[in-house]
């Protein structure tokens, strides 16, 4: 019930392929069920600041077993989870983090992508998650 390195590398390859297809340069991180990093790749020329963001997105998606953007909708000013980002040494709550499930629909890890507009980040993360 934990993602393997082989699966993680497959997800990174799929995400990279999508990133190239939409002409972006991404940081791509995969964490396991315990929210610990399994694999990571930073494409040449990708934003340096997105390195940490991609890892935090992956962790956030596994911490709460949902897409990071969903957490962000609830953490706005006045929202029920306002400023939840201060927990867990820093969350990232905009789109680009997605839980990864196995064929039995069990969550085995998560992917986090950062390096472009959040819609692109999400699309690349989705391509990675869908490859498992």
If binding is defined by CB under 8 A, does position 36 make contact with its own copies? yes
Question: What distances in angstroms separate CA 63 from CA 8, 53, 120, 128, one per listed residue?
Answer: 18, 15, 22, 19
If binding is defined by CB under 8 A, does position 70 make contact with its own copies? no
If binding is defined by CB under 8 A, does position 131 make contact with its own copies? no
If binding is defined by CB under 8 A, does position 37 make contact with its own copies? yes
Distance, C-alpha 14 to centroid of its chain: 13
Pairing label, strands 97-101, 107-114:
antiparallel
If binding is defined by CB under 8 A, does position 22 make contact with its own copies? no
**Cα–Cα distance between 7 and 30 in angstroms, integer?**
10
**Cα–Cα distance between 66 and 32 in angstroms, integer?**
14
If binding is defined by CB under 8 A, does position 50 make contact with its own copies? yes
Binding test (CB under 8 A) with its own copies, winner from 11, 15, 84, 108 = 84
If binding is defined by CB under 8 A, does position 80 make contact with its own copies? yes
Residues forming the site for its own copies (CB under 8 A): 1, 4-5, 8-9, 32-44, 47-53, 56, 59-60, 62-65, 72, 75-78, 80-95, 117-118
């Amino acid at each position: 019930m934990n993602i393997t390195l082989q699966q993680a590398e497959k997800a990174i390859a799929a995400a990279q392929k999508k990133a190239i297809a939409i002409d972006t340069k991404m940081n791509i991180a995969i964490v396991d069920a315990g929210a610990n990093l399994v694999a990571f790749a930073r494409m040449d020329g990708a934003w340096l600041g997105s390195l940490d963001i991609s890892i935090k997105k992956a962790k956030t998606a596994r911490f709460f077993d949902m897409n990071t953007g969903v957490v962000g909708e609830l953490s706005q000013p006045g929202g029920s989870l306002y400023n939840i980002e201060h927990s867990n040494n820093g969350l990232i709550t905009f789109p680009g983090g997605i839980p990864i499930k196995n064929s039995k629909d069990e969550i085995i890890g998560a992917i986090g992508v950062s390096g472009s507009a959040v819609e692109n980040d999400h699309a690349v993360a989705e391509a990675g998650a869908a490859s498992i």
